[in-house]
Amino acid sequence: MKKNFLDKIKAIDNKESKEHKISGKNIIYYDGSKPKNVVKNFDASKDKPEYVNLSNLLYNDIFKDSPDLLNVPIEAIRVIFILIHQSKSVSFNQPRAPYTPSLFEEEFLTKDNSFASFDIPTGLISPSRDTKRIEKALLLLMQNTIRTVVSKNAKNEEVKSLISFIEKPKFTRGRVYLEVSSYWLEKMANIEHYNPIIFDLAYNIPNTQQIFFAIWLRSIPMYQEAVFKKETYKSWTQINIDTLQKKFGLEGKDRDYISEKFLKPIQAKLFEFNDRSFAFQYDKGSYYITALDVKANKIIENLKPENAYRTKVKYAINYLQRRHKVDKDSLDHIETIYANSILDKELMETAYSNLKKVVKREQMKMTDLTGLKFLAKWQEEIITSYKQTANYKNFPKGYPKVITSE
């Protein structure tokens, strides 16, 4: 890693280093041959805000289409949130007017090579103060956020400036020091259009892909009806499965994986730790997704993780009754097992799948197994599956029992 990405930037002489207009915006050239102007210093406290205001400018540049950032350590996302929070306190942020372009220009766009420096407590980035993870996060944040700013100089020559989101990071066990250019600082500070993000998301959801999904949820419409109706999903936000795979780094994952291992876990996490979660439905190659207000309990009561699990249990019990004519006492007993232990339910369902294979080899039908005959066969497979678990050695008879008479 080179000392400074400014080393890569083409030097421009005095006449060419002033600001120039392109597409109606001011572009400041960063001239590596000239001294850096650190215009403002930020000293971050250990206090964490409830929300940070993520501007659309920063969202579009970092979170919208940045596949290289999808697998960075969560500490990198925390750094971004911390910098967003700190940048809002600069002097050009006035009460009731979060971003005042003239004040920003006066402070940051009148000098070449203008930067702001940040001083952040290490523990705010990593509560365990894991310096190896912090180092990796800072390195990847530099490498994967380099943007090329193209403009014209006074001679009408094209000039490309390479600018990384953070520059010159240094850290000790107690503090992290870094610099942010005016190019990126304006994107953070300009919150004329923004979405509020709960700051603690980057601490309660330690998976960067899921954080990207949670932030994307802020950009789609909320469910507006008073009573939740899953059958209305065709009016929700549609995203093709291929687009979703690419957008959140899930290439090669099939529909079952995306639904069960990606969407449902983050749905549950957001219900628990966020003010916004979502509902989703799959249909003919596309997911239909709608954002939900977690506080509107009457709308999402049936989608809360604990209620969703109870619904699964009821479905499983009704299935056993319909397909295998299991008696009521046994059904009540099995329902109690399911309700009290997800692991036992998973073990019993694995055993049921194995029983279907055995029945198929014997050229029978599962519907031929009913009542006690079914329960006895199922119990045999449950014991066989239990013997493959780590608990078997210490608790050889700890398997779930489906026959109440035993």
Q: What is the pLDDT of residue 288?
A: 94
- Residue 380: pLDDT over 70: yes
The CB density around residue 97, as the number of other CB atoms within 10 Å, is 10
Q: What is the pLDDT of residue 84?
A: 87
pLDDT-derived band at 286 (thresholds 50, 70, 90) equals very high
pLDDT-derived band at 14 (thresholds 50, 70, 90) equals very low
Task: Identify which of 334, 277, 337 has the alpha carbon closest to the alpha carbon of residue 305.
Answer: 277
- The per-residue DSSP string of 54-80 comes to EEHHHIIIIIIS-GGGTTS-HHHHHHH
Q: What is the pLDDT of residue 31?
A: 52
pTM: 0.64
Task: Identify which of 360, 396, 361, 353 has the alpha carbon closest to the alpha carbon of residue 378.
Answer: 353
**275, 293 Cβ separation under 8 angstroms:** yes
Task: Identify which of 109, 106, 164 has the alpha carbon closest to the alpha carbon of residue 139.
Answer: 164
Q: What is the pLDDT of residue 49?
A: 80
C-alpha distances in Å from residue 386, one per residue of 317, 339, 399, 400, 405: 21, 19, 6, 9, 20
> Which domains are seen in the chain, by residue range?
35-94+101-202 (1.10.10.10), 211-293 (no CATH), 304-388 (no CATH)
Q: What is the pLDDT of residue 26?
A: 46
Q: What is the pLDDT of residue 97?
A: 42
Q: What is the pLDDT of residue 110?
A: 55
Q: What is the pLDDT of residues 99-132, one digit of tens each?
A: 555 555 555 555 666 778 888 988 899 888 888 8
**Pairing assessment for the beta strands 37-43 and 114-121 based on DSSP bridges:** parallel
- Residue 41: pLDDT over 60: yes
Our CA angle for 8, 187, 223, nearest 5°, is 135
Question: Which segment of 186-190, 280-284, 297-301 scores lowest on mean pLDDT?
Answer: 297-301
Pull the structure tokens for residue 401.
Answer: 């029992």
Question: Collapsing DSSP states into helix, strand and coil, what is residue 201?
Answer: helix
Q: What is the pLDDT of residue 223?
A: 84
Q: What is the pLDDT of residues 155-187, one digit of tens each?
A: 667 767 778 888 888 888 788 999 888 788 878
- Residue 7: pLDDT over 80: no
Mean pLDDT, the chain, integer: 79
**23, 42 Cβ separation under 8 angstroms:** no
Residue with tokens 């997800």: 342
Q: What is the pLDDT of residue 139?
A: 92
Task: Out of 95-104, 146-155, 232-241, give the one with best mean pLDDT.
Answer: 232-241
Q: What is the mean pLDDT of residues 376-382?
A: 94
**144, 69 Cβ separation under 8 angstroms:** yes
Q: What is the pLDDT of residue 18?
A: 38
